[in-house]
Structure 1
Amino acid sequence: MVKPPKTAGSRRPVHAGDLRIEAWADTREACIAEAVDALVGSFLGPTRPAPSSRSSFRVTGRTDAELLQAVLGRVIAEVLERQVVPVATVVSTTAEGLEVLCRTVSAAAILPVGAIPKAVSGARPLCHRFASGWFCSARIDV
């Protein structure tokens, strides 16, 4: 079994139309929040503007990978449909799944440095617990 690296979340090109994000943290919830940060970092870059509003949503899923896919899909929908970008994210467990609290900024207030994600790729994301913590990865269509 390969252990994930011990640095902050990352993003790397898979091919021209895809992006692979990776994240790791001590808990599943923190790892999913890091995955959201890596997703947003793919088009915002490392600098985050000050948040101007808040939003929240809940997702359900049978597996950790389904929960990750649901969170990332919802974040992409928020960017594309509601034109809000999360600049800070906290994920917590609910009885049915996860609750995601985002501090957001209007998409009109940002200057993207990369392509805006369109969807989570059909390939199933990975959300797995290791002895040293949690690791998440997903392919994103851009």
Structure 2
Amino acid sequence: MTREESAGHRIVPHTADLRIEAWAPTREQCIAEAVYAMVGAFTDLTSTVPAVRREFVVPAAPAQDQLVTVLNELIYRMDTDDEVPRAVEVRRKGADLQVLLAMADTARVTVIGAAPKAVTRRRLSFGPIDTGWRCIVTLDV
């Protein structure tokens, strides 16, 4: 099975907010897919190139908390640094997560929707499934 068949993401219909779903063979890949879903919901990155590399560490915590931390950190960076993730890799580093990012300048990004403002915990789910990991997240826009 290829990566494309075993990992992915989509926007889930929702009346007021943005709801995303992501799945992948590992917890770390699932978090990365959730980032791609979030960013893809409001930007078209097809013609952008990464401008700068960033990284941060998410301390050991339950999987749901780490997912929320990653998404909220990226929302914060998009808002304060005017950068949007073009590529993301999440690695396990002991019980912590290391998040590696290739960021693009938001001035060079095509905006196609409302940017998220925060991750909510309403109906948040993140956990193992038969084929790996799956998350569903609601984002305030």
TM-score (norm 1): 0.88
CA distance in 1, matches of 2:51, 2:10: 25
Structure 1 runs of 4+ aligned residues shifted over 6 Å read: none
Preserved CA contact (<8 Å) 2:7 2:24: no
Letter in 1 for 2:50: P
- Which residue pairs with 1:14 in the alignment? 14
Deviation string, structure 1 residues 102-123 (Cα, Å, up to 9, x no partner): 1110111112101011000142
Preserved CA contact (<8 Å) 2:45 2:110: no
* Structure 2 unaligned residues grouped into runs of 5+: none
Equivalent positions of 1:58-77 (< 5 A) are 58-77=57-76
CA distance in 1, matches of 2:21, 2:47: 19
2:33 aligned with 1:34, yes or no? yes
Per-residue deviation at 1:7?
6.4
CA distance in 1, matches of 2:37, 2:70: 13
Give the RMSD, CA atoms, in angstroms. 1.9
Deviation string, structure 1 residues 83-132 (Cα, Å, up to 9, x no partner): 11001100011234211101110111112101011000142632111121
Preserved CA contact (<8 Å) 1:125 1:136: yes
Q: Is the partner of 1:74 in helix, strand or coil?
A: helix
Q: Is the partner of 2:127 in helix, strand or coil?
A: strand
Preserved CA contact (<8 Å) 2:120 2:140: yes
Q: How many residues align?
A: 137
CA distance in 2, matches of 1:12, 1:23: 10
Identical positions, percent: 38
Letter in 2 for 1:70: T
